[in-house]
Chain A
Amino acid sequence: MNIFAVTAYFAETLPIVFYLIFLKRNRGEGLWVIFLYCVLSLLTEAIFAITRQPVVFSIFIILQFTLFSFFFYSSLKGKRVKYIPIVGALVFYGFAIANFTNKRFDSISTSLSSVLIISYCILLLYEQIRDSTTEFVYYNKKFWVIIAFFIYSSATLFLYIYFSTLSGQQRHSYWIINNFFEILKNILFSVSFIMKKRDKPAYAMDTLDT
């Protein structure tokens, strides 16, 4: 186990701890889905460490994508686009069940999940900038969650696509990309959980003029 893998594992506890500490700040923000995802992710690693059954990862991918889909479904405001995550989830379930294996890593399903998440992130960001009533995007808690998913999924997309073609040695060396962005993702989740809620639009002419 290298240092990145260990740090990545412990980094998963960060958002859980911060969510629980700043529970009040995160109430009513719809971030409990992300909290659940972090708990699920940590549990999967723990269960795998005990059982050594790779099937737990295949189950985890399906559960994880269900949570993502729910998060995006509840975050999207447009009536038409709101149903895209549901359709995406159905497509994903089809692929995931068809490729359900007892291997530790299912390249096709994970890549598809990354592509879908990237699309949802773009959709959500587009919706946020089109909404003229929105305050600065970076004062929105969900923005940090979205960019966490966006950066993580973009950075690991090629790794997931080519994972099945890599040799054991290559997999081991390149998995560092996943670990690094896993840490970054958890830091961004933590930022989202730590930041305060804002009641008023967080901008002022004075701050803009400078």
Chain B
Amino acid sequence: MIFLEVTNPGNVSIVLFFGTIGMLALTIGLIVFIIFHQRKVIRYQLRLQRMEEDQQKLLLNASIRLQEEERQRIAADLHDDAGPLLATARLYLNENLVNLDKTTQLQSIYNAKQIIDDTIQLIRNISHSLMPPTLKNFGLESAVNDLFQKISGSGSMNASSRFHDYRERLQAENELIIFRVIQELVNNILKHSNASFIHLTQNTSGSKFFIRLHHDGRGITQTDFNKLNKSNVGLGLKNIQSRLKVLHGKIFFEKDMSQTYYKVTIELVKEEEDKLRSPE
């Protein structure tokens, strides 16, 4: 307090007056600042929260719409393909009841068998599209290789995949999620990019698990992805986002350093995978 010492008693009143006023002004200023600053921060947080909620709503809507579309597709497949096939098989079998000619009966049984075989194949295809058996039995690596072989086999595009470090399989549900994301990305590339090749690589770095897709067609960058995610279009991309959210994963869309290829990187944290595994 030495610096506040006043030698002239006459000045005490002035110092006391201005000192008190100054301290009060500082205090009240600080309190007002705190109140307004906090209001500002809370307002900003609420805006962020609202934006996050909107984004969640968009993702949820996209996922519901996609689910409905999938159901409609299965219903259409069953109604338009399996239904008529079974009805025809029934007709052939009915014919046996009225037609007693042995040769005709054999012919109609053979036809009915053919149709039932077709129906079995059709139902198998539907079932495989819902849950690929390769994925269930042999894991993500085999399922992706299978998918890429089929694409290459069609002759329209050169597709290849390489898993560098996949000795330990991920949890089955998570493999399915990643497979669906890859399927969606590949579908988008096939539909929109006009690419001549797709190459997928998998590797790990520490606790992180990466899947990278390269293609030489028309692609999108992260800015496009964010824009599409916030808009009402880009249902597939929203679906990718919501699927990856389950795994706490990230996805990055970028153009290669050489500006020739587009690159999509899926990043997952293995510990998150373990956490999801642990409750079992």
Interface residues of chain A, those whose CB is within 8 Å of chain B, are 108, 111, 118, 122, 125, 128-129, 132, 134, 136-138, 147, 150-151, 154-159, 161-162, 165-167, 170, 174, 177, 203, 205, 208
Contact = CB atoms under 8 A, between A and B. Distances in A.
A208 B35 CA distance: 13
Given A129-B41, A136-B42, A165-B6, A158 B19 contact: yes
Point out which of B4, B26, B34, B50 has the most chain A C-beta atoms below 10 A from its C-beta: B34
Given A129-B41, A203-B42, A208-B43, A158 B27 contact: no
Interface string B30-42: 1100110111011
A108 B26 CA distance: 22
Given A150-B31, A155-B20, A162-B16, A111 B6 contact: no
Nearest to B31: A147
Contact of A158 (B9, B23, B35): B23
What DSSP secondary structure best describes chain B's contact surface? helix
A108 B1 contact: yes
Given A129-B37, A136-B38, A157-B23, A174 B31 contact: no
Contacts of A157: 19-20, 23
Contact of A154 (B1, B12, B13, B23): B23
B107 interface: no
Contacts, number: 76
B50 A177 contact: no
Given A158-B15, A161-B1, 11 more contacts: A125-B30, A125-B31, A136-B35, A136-B42, A137-B38, A151-B24, A151-B28, A154-B23, A155-B23, A162-B15, A208-B39
A166 B4 CA distance: 14
Interface residues of B, number: 28
A132 B41 contact: yes
21 contacts: A111-B1, A122-B30, A129-B41, A132-B41, A132-B45, A136-B35, A136-B38, A136-B42, A150-B31, A151-B24, A151-B28, A154-B24, A158-B20, A158-B23, A162-B15, A165-B6, A165-B9, A167-B9, A174-B16, A205-B50, A208-B43
A128 B233 CA distance: 43
A205 B46 contact: yes
Interface in B43-66: 43, 45-46, 50
A136 B20 contact: no
A34 B169 CA distance: 62
A154 B26 contact: yes
Contacts of B45: 132
Contacts of B30: 122, 125, 150
A23 to B, nearest CB: 28
A120 B16 CA distance: 23
Given A108-B1, A132-B45, A137-B38, A155 B31 contact: no
Contact of B16 (A137, A159, A208): A159
Contacts of B37: 129
Contacts of A134: 38
A128 B28 CA distance: 17
B248 to A, nearest CB: 22
A137 B35 contact: yes
